[in-house]
Amino acid sequence: MQGKSHIPGAILTCSIYLLCILVFIARLLDQPRLEFWVGFLLLLTAFPLLFLLIISPRPPSPLLYTIQVGLMLLYLFIQLLLDFIFKFDFRSTQWLVIFYVTLFFATTGGILGIASLAGRKWMLASVSLFFAIAALAFIQRFLTRI
């Protein structure tokens, strides 16, 4: 079911993507303080995601919608634990980086479905932003090894 009722989810998806882009730009510019605050804003998207999860049955949304939102919340929770609470330096351990990057792309790629429910324009905007995230992620990893 496509339509206006899914526009908040599409706006949230694009907002998450823009925040991810800003995190990668902050890393490329070696601005850890900016990276921290943008990452904190990204964590705050958990609240509107929870709202989407609560209202997802109205209008009826596919089960995949609930899974996509739930996985994004799981990613944000793991991010909260690793980077903000325990401040665990997992990026220097290869197998943890592989797990983390896989989860990151699974969740950010998964929420493309949420934006797609709002229509073709939202889908195209979110796909474009997702490709920008992917490019910046690999550029940042190659240049900074973070």
* % pLDDT > 90, the chain: 73
Please tell me which of 1-10, 43-52, 83-92 the model is most confident about, judged by mean pLDDT. Answer: 43-52
Q: Is the pLDDT of residue 145 over 80?
A: no
pLDDT of residue 98: 92
Q: Is residue 75 within 8 Å of residue 104, measured between CB atoms?
A: yes
Mean pLDDT (whole number) for 28-56: 94
pLDDT tens per residue, range 60-90: 677 888 899 999 999 999 999 999 999 888 8
Give the closest residue to 119 by CA, choosing from 40, 10, 19, 13.
10
Instruction: Examine the pLDDT at 58 and tell me if it is beyond 80.
Output: no
- The rounded distance, in Å, linking the Cα atoms of 51 and 75 is 16
